[in-house]
Every structure is written in structure tokens, then in C-alpha cells.
Structure 1
């Protein structure tokens, strides 16, 4: 049964990743909940909590420009997830992989890790879609 649950969860992640439109909608919701507080609804680094941080909160609209016109998908994925030990911005940015995993719920049998990775993936697709 556990193997079947893993396959169902993987299928959900694959469907989400193969449909940028679904990922954009889900990603925008994730962004508004997890990122807008610091990076702002506009993603320009002007969120209501930005002034409380010890660092300058970056705009997330020019990630492609700062990377030779290629969206740094894997780097952004790792930065948001944070569970690989590489801490974004020193130690200011939350480890969203852990937070998403802890709060994960599933009605289809996905593991908490699958749910967390799916949420992060949809967020990265959303960030890719708003690049200027």
C-alpha cells in the first residue's frame, strides 16, 4: 500500500509540474502566504515585514536577468526548500521545505515530503512566470 501511495503522490507532483497554468495558480497562492510578507505582493522586495529584517529584501522579478537571461530553476528550488543545508540570505529566510512538510496534509496518500515538494515546485513555477 505504501508503494501505491508514493506513486499517487508522485503522479500529483508530475501533473502539477507538467501544467504551468495550474502551477501558476497554486504558486501564486503559495507566494501570497509564504513570500509576500517580506518580498511584497508585487515581488519587488517591499513587503510589510521587509523593514524589520537585517538584510535588504530582494526583488524576485529579475532572477532571470541576473542569471544570463536563464531562470535559475534549481537554485531557486533549493533556496526556497532550504533543507539541503544551504541557507538563503545567511539565516534570515525560513526553511520552507520543513515548514511545508510539517503542515502537510493529504487526502490522496502523498507523503508529507511529496506535498512539501509539490508546494515548492508550484512556487518556483510562479516565480518563473513573473520574471521581467
Structure 2
């Protein structure tokens, strides 16, 4: 094996470990955001049985069956739109839905200082939504 092949193998190994580590970190961050922002309605296990669900007009979805309801595949793009909420055409803080518009909320939370960049806040909001999506994929049941 020549030096170039060895270097490529080392780089590939580092990248795969880094990617796996990033994915695990992202899932962990999604779990924390879920617990802090979603569990009150959707329940700790995601089954739609959170402590405030009885006060809602529309019962929260069972998030553990998203893939099952979509032919066995987790619909990332659709779920992105549902969680983000900014592109749904609804009006008001919750629009015509009871679920908060998390894209706006996460962006606002990232803009805590006058010097904070809207672009950085947008990336922060998007990263939080990605982390939530990654976590939700881990709780899917057949």
C-alpha cells in the first residue's frame, strides 16, 4: 500500500468518525429541544399524550408513527415544513394551527444581542430543526 492510499484511508476514517460524532451530537441536541419545547404537547415518548394535550382543540400527533403513516419512510421535507412553520401560509403566532412556528421562535431565541447577525440566527434555527428531525427519526416505531 502506498503513502497516498494510506493517507486517503486515514482521512476517510477521520471523516466517518467525525460525521458519526456530529450525527450523535445532533440527535442529542434534538432530544433536549424536544424535551424543552415539544414534550408538553406530544408527551415525553412522542405519543401525543403530553400534560397540556387535554387543553388543545386538536390533539397532538403521535410522533412515533410518522414514518408508518408515510409508507414506512420518514418524510424529512414535510416534517421540516411542519416544524419550521414559516412557509405554511398561516397567520398569527400559531397561524390556524396550534403548534408554534418554531422557525420564528428558534431564530428569535438566537437574536438575543443587538450585535447578533440575522444570518447566524437563521442558521441556528435551521440547525435546531435538523436536530429535532434527526431525533424524531430515532423514535419511529413500526
Change (3 A) 1:86 1:61: farther
Q: Name the structure where helix makes up a greater proportion of residues.
A: 2
Cα separation, partners in 2 of 1:105 and 1:76, compared to 1, 3 Å: same
In the alignment, structure 1 segments of 5+ residues that lack a partner are 1-14
Within 5 A, what are the aligned runs for 1:58-69?
58-69=61-72
5 Å-filtered alignment, 1:83-94, equals 83-87=86-90, 90-94=96-100
Distance in 1 (alpha carbons) for counterparts of 2:48 and 2:39: 8
Do the aligned partners of 1:101 and 1:115 also contact (CA within 8 Å) in 2? yes
Structure 2 residue aligned with 1:77: 80
Counterpart for residue 32 of structure 2: 29
CA contact (8 A) 1:16 1:22 kept: no
User: Where do 4+ consecutive residues of structure 1 move more than 2 Å?
Assistant: 15-20, 85-90
- Uncovered stretches (5+) of structure 2, i.e. residues with no partner: 1-17
- State the aligned residue count: 117
- Classify 1:118/1:18 alpha carbon distance in 2 versus 1 (closer, same or farther; 3 Å): farther
Give the superposed CA RMSD.
Answer: 2.7
TM-score if structure 1 supplies the norm length?
Answer: 0.79
Partner-residue secondary structure (3-state), 1:19: helix
Partner of 1:117: 126
Contact 1:17 1:122 in 2 (8 A): no
Q: Which has the larger radius of gyration?
A: 2
| Cα deviation, residue 85, structure 1 | 2.6
Aligned to 1:49: 52
Shift of 1:55: 0.7
1:38–1:16 CA distance, 2 compared to 1 (3 A)? farther
Could you say what secondary structure the match of 1:61 adopts? Answer: helix
Q: Which has the higher contact order (CA 8 A, sep 6+)?
A: 1
